[in-house]
Amino acid sequence: MKRVAAAWFLLVAALSLTACGGSSGKSSKASSAHPVKLTVWAGWSASTHELKVFKGVVAEYDRKHPEVKIKVVGDIVDTKILAAIRSGNVPDVVSSFTSSNVGKYCPTGAWIDLALYLKKDKISLADFTKTPLYYTQYKGKRCALPLLADTFGLYYNKAMFKAAGITSPPKTMSQLTADAQKLTQKNPDGSLKVVGFDPASGFYDGAPNKVLRFASLFGGHYTDAKGHSILSKDPAWAKSMQWVKNLIDWYGHDTEGRPASGGGVGSGQVPDDGHARARQALQRPPQRPDDQGVVEIA
CATH code for position 184: 3.40.190.10
Q: Are residues 189 and 143 in the same domain?
A: no
DSSP the chain: -B-STT-EEEEE--GGGHHHHH-HHHHHH--SSSPEEEEEE-SS-TTSHHHHHHHHHHHHHHHH-TTEEEEEE----HHHHHHHHHHT---SEEEES-GGGHHHHHHHTSS---HHHHHHTT--GGGS-HHHHHTTSBTTB--EEEEE--B-EEEEEHHHHHHTT--S---SHHHHHHHHHHH-EE-TTS-EEE-S--TT--TTT-HHHHHHHHHHHTT--SB-TTS-B-TTT-HHHHHHHHHHHHHHHHH-TT---PPPTT--GGGTS-SEEEE-GGGHHHHS-S---TTEEEEE--
Q: Are residues 104 and 28 in the same domain?
A: yes
Q: Are residues 143 and 161 in the same domain?
A: no
Domain span including residue 45 = 8-148
Q: Are residues 178 and 267 in the same domain?
A: yes
> Which residue would you say has higher pLDDT here, 257 or 190?
190
Residue 228 lies in a domain: yes
Burial of residue 140 (CB within 10 Å: 0-12, 13-18, 19+) is exposed
Cα 284 to Cα 235: distance, rounded to the nearest angstrom: 39
Cβ atoms of residues 37 and 21 within 8 Å: no
Residue 53 lies in a domain: yes
Q: What is the pLDDT of residues 126-148, one digit of tens each?
A: 999 888 898 899 998 999 999 88
At 64 the pLDDT is 95
Q: Are residues 219 and 274 in the same domain?
A: yes
Q: Are residues 84 and 190 in the same domain?
A: no
pLDDT of 177 above 80: yes
Q: Are residues 215 and 170 in the same domain?
A: yes
Q: What is the mean pLDDT of residues 44-61?
A: 92
Residue 3 lies in a domain: no
The number of distinct structural domains making up the chain is 2
Q: Are residues 36 and 130 in the same domain?
A: yes
Q: Are residues 139 and 160 in the same domain?
A: no
Q: Are residues 202 and 128 in the same domain?
A: no
Q: Are residues 157 and 81 in the same domain?
A: no
**pTM of the predicted model as reported, rounded to 2 decimal places:** 0.65
Q: What is the pLDDT of residues 90-119, one digit of tens each?
A: 899 998 888 888 888 888 788 899 999 999
Q: What is the pLDDT of residues 233-289, one digit of tens each?
A: 999 999 998 998 899 899 886 554 444 333 444 455 555 555 443 334 434 444 455
